[in-house]
Structure 1
Amino acid sequence: MKGAEADGDTDPAAALRAARSDVADARAAVEDHGEERLQAVRTAYREATDLLDRYEGRATGTGDFAAFVEFQEAFVELVEGLDDDLPARDAFEAANDILDQRRLGEDDFERAREALDPAADRVALLSERAAAEERREAARRDARQRLRDLTDRIEYLERLRRLGEADLDAPVERLRDPVESYNEAVEAAWTTFKREASAREVFRVVEASEAYPLAAFRRPPPELREYVTTYAAGEESIPTLLTYADYSSSKLSHYVDDPAALRTRVATHRTYLERLDADPLTVDWPPPAAGTLRHRAGELVSVTARFAPDDVVAAARRLRTLPDEVAYGRLRETAMARDELDDTERERLAEGAVESELEEARAERERLEAALDG
């Protein structure tokens, strides 16, 4: 990343300053002539060009004489009605002089349009001001977006630098071993529980977990929950219900009282039942911050105690006390550094490239903030 560049050679801060300068110049040009007077020129110019467009085909050559007279009178009336100090008034008079003939041709209309060019130039000052203001707003949006991107970039580089300061030789197994032991134990316990317990018992645990947001299972679909809790088939295990869902209606009638209910409530939610695994109860690696782990482990203890053997609950309790038993912050930084830093990033850190990019990004952020404040 180039420090002061966002896209190619574009500098959003410089672009914003240039756009603001253009707006100031465009506004000054309008103020030099007066807003109301330029509005009057625009109105007169539109009326003049409208007359030229409407009558050119009828008032030229030996065409409609009535239209010819009507056109000349309308144009004269327009010019005579203009204020004497109207900017570019002489352009309208020049056009009127060109059209003051006994017979008009297409080239006369073209010459009249060219004579109105000074008026068009005055009218353009209003359009140029509006365009400059639009460019300024676009430049401001680009600068704000670049500022957001820079903020993300700086956060990434600061994190990279922090990870680069981690002791890569620290004994992270003091964290990994308890986490992996717990994860393996809770996954095995849940697999056994889901296989052997009734679907109704499993759903009781799932619903009870809702009281613990950091250890909660995904809520079952209402119609599936209603079937499992009210129909006799809910006393069967989840694998058995999934097996029933594959039976034909005639075969299924030998196993459940209402085959149609099982098909509409269970078969349609096969994916939920199949994916109901222990993932909400496992701990990621690298593990979360110490405070988060303590809180989450406390909730894991409450949920696992409802279905898992004592050794699994004890493993969850161990996680809750783990931040107090080891140099948790330092070991976690090492774990994250080992997990997240690839060879290229480590090389950039060693060469000082990350620090250099961070300084450039911060400097560009300061320029952008100053430009936006301006």
Structure 2
Amino acid sequence: MSERVHDAGATAGNGDGDDQSPLEALEAARERFERAERRIDEHGGEAVADAAEAYREATGLLEDYVDRATGTGRENFKAYVELEGKFDSLVSSLPDDLKGRDAFEDALDAIDKRRLSEDDFERANEALDPARQYADMLDEREAAREAIDDARTGAAKRLRELDDEIPERERLLELATADLEAPVEDLRDPIEAYNELIVAAVEEYRLEASAREVFALLERSRWYPFVDYEQPPEDLAAYVDENEAGEYTLPELLEYADYSRSKLEHYVDSADELKRRVATQQTFLDGIDGEPLTIPWPPAEAGVLRRRTREYRPFVERVAGADAVAQLRSIRRLTTDPAFEYDRLQTAAQAVTQLTADERERLADGQVADELEALRAERARLEDALDVDDPV
């Protein structure tokens, strides 16, 4: 399993290509910074900074005056005098031992004329080239520092990806231990029987209960994470709670929403309000069914299924008959009955349902185990690399 990724920090190093892994990019960025630091140290950090500052000030002057001080006009000559004065003052103030000092003298000579052209400015900039290396050293160190920041971001992103990839490989290895010959129908049959009962029961409940009662049930489901009913829009909920129309069943409200206003006035106080509140929410109202109270296949681990059935029970008691409640209890008992071997059947059901042909092949030849080992090793190396304190 390769730890290379093409979109996470691949270019944060020294530009060696897009095939770097995040770890390689971080190591390359640190090496780049160390090289930049060594080069500066070889010349003396303070001396490099002084020379770089002088170079930037000198080139800044040339850039400021290149347009104003070229030509034969009076204003051009005035600008030239200003430039020469400032440049001469700059050069005169430089220490004799400044690195690249001769370059500043040569640049001053290049503009020591009564009239300047753009070629003179180019010659002055060229004369400063020996001093430019010191500014370049500082620029390279700053670029290397930014490359480290980018590489750390890429490494952190890769760690988050590993947090998803490693559990996925672990899940596959767990499913690899499944007994694919296990009688999963012993688990599937009672779950399917319960699901059929609760779907039918909720459909009947919709036909009999008032919209207000149904909405109260939906409101209660807010506090039960496994009972995943969508909540009604606030304006519709308020209408059902406060208006007499809330005493009608959901099918009746939907039927009335299709009536003409004149016909509807025989059933509700305000035909316009019912149409405004109900007709626009037909999709939501039609979608209230027993699905959120069904048990998914394949089921989750025993502990999760126990919590799910515990949360379902008060809702099943409210909307369904004794048969559905008894079926739900029997499913819960399966998770604690040692003779039933729930874990074995659940793992087998997960494997049969979830494993693709490719995953089974990779499990059979050991690829998944190798991938998991490589991913864990990559995570350990990245964590170690990110523990290193980098220059701020």
| Residues paired across the two proteins, number | 373
Distance 1:93 1:153, change over 3 A: same
Q: Which residue of 1 aligns with 2:267?
A: 255
8 Å Cα contact 2:182-2:345 kept in structure 1? yes
Quick check: 1:311 aligned with 2:323? yes
| 101-110 vs 45-54, greater mean Cα deviation | 101-110
Q: How does 1:127-146 map to 2 (within 5 A)?
A: 127-146=139-158
Q: Which residue of 2 aligns with 1:45?
A: 55
Q: CA deviation at 1:236?
A: 2.1
- CA offsets 1:292-320 (integer angstroms, 9 cap, x no match): 21222122221111121111111111122
Q: Which residue of 1 aligns with 2:103?
A: 91
| 230-239 vs 100-109, greater mean Cα deviation | 100-109
Q: CA deviation at 1:271?
A: 2.3
Q: CA deviation at 1:63?
A: 5.0
- Residue number among 20, 39, 43 corresponding to 2:30 in the alignment: 20
Q: Which residue of 1 aligns with 2:20?
A: 10
Distance 1:151 1:257, change over 3 A: closer
Q: Which residue of 1 aligns with 2:358?
A: 344
- Residue number among 174, 188, 191 corresponding to 1:179 in the alignment: 191
| 353-362 vs 332-341, greater mean Cα deviation | 353-362
**For 1:303 and 1:211, how far apart are their aligned partners in 2?**
12
Q: Secondary structure at the match of 1:169?
A: coil
Distance 1:222 1:96, change over 3 A: closer
Quick check: 1:244 aligned with 2:244? no
TM-score, normalising length from structure 1?
Answer: 0.91
Instruction: Give the aligned residue type for 1:6.
Output: V
Distance 1:256 1:86, change over 3 A: same
**For 1:95 and 1:142, how far apart are their aligned partners in 2?**
44
Structure 2: tracts of 5 or more residues without a match: 7-17
Distance 1:170 1:370, change over 3 A: same
8 Å Cα contact 2:256-2:264 kept in structure 1? yes
Instruction: Give the aligned residue type for 1:233.
Output: A
Q: CA deviation at 1:272?
A: 2.1
- CA offsets 1:183-240 (integer angstroms, 9 cap, x no match): 0000001101102333233334334444544335333333333333343332322111
Structure 1: tracts of 5 or more residues without a match: none
Q: How does 1:189-268 map to 2 (within 5 A)?
A: 189-215=201-227, 217-268=229-280
**For 2:119 and 2:318, how far apart are their aligned partners in 1?**
96
Q: How does 1:107-126 map to 2 (within 5 A)?
A: 107-126=119-138
Q: Secondary structure at the match of 2:335?
A: helix
Q: Which residue of 1 aligns with 2:15?
A: none
Distance 1:106 1:228, change over 3 A: closer
| 99-108 vs 342-351, greater mean Cα deviation | 99-108
Quick check: 1:366 aligned with 2:377? no
8 Å Cα contact 1:3-1:363 kept in structure 2? no
**For 1:253 and 1:62, how far apart are their aligned partners in 2?**
93
| 252-261 vs 94-103, greater mean Cα deviation | 94-103
Instruction: Give the aligned residue type for 1:371.
Output: A
Instruction: Give the aligned residue type for 1:15.
Output: A
**For 1:92 and 1:101, how far apart are their aligned partners in 2?**
16
- CA offsets 1:61-81 (integer angstroms, 9 cap, x no match): 755455444433332221111
Q: Which residue of 2 aligns with 1:82?
A: 94
**Larger relative contact order, structure 1 or 2 (CA cutoff 8 Å, min sep 6):** 1
8 Å Cα contact 1:168-1:338 kept in structure 2? yes
Q: Secondary structure at the match of 2:126?
A: helix
Q: CA deviation at 1:149?
A: 1.6
**For 2:178 and 2:246, how far apart are their aligned partners in 1?**
52
Distance 1:102 1:185, change over 3 A: closer
Quick check: 1:292 aligned with 2:269? no
Root-mean-square deviation (Å): 2.3
Quick check: 1:30 aligned with 2:31? no
8 Å Cα contact 1:208-1:303 kept in structure 2? no
- CA offsets 1:1-27 (integer angstroms, 9 cap, x no match): x42322373222122111101111212
Instruction: Give the aligned residue type for 2:20.
Output: T
TM-score, normalising length from structure 2?
Answer: 0.87
**For 1:230 and 1:223, how far apart are their aligned partners in 2?**
11
8 Å Cα contact 1:205-1:307 kept in structure 2? no
> How many percent of aligned residue pairs carry the same amino acid?
50
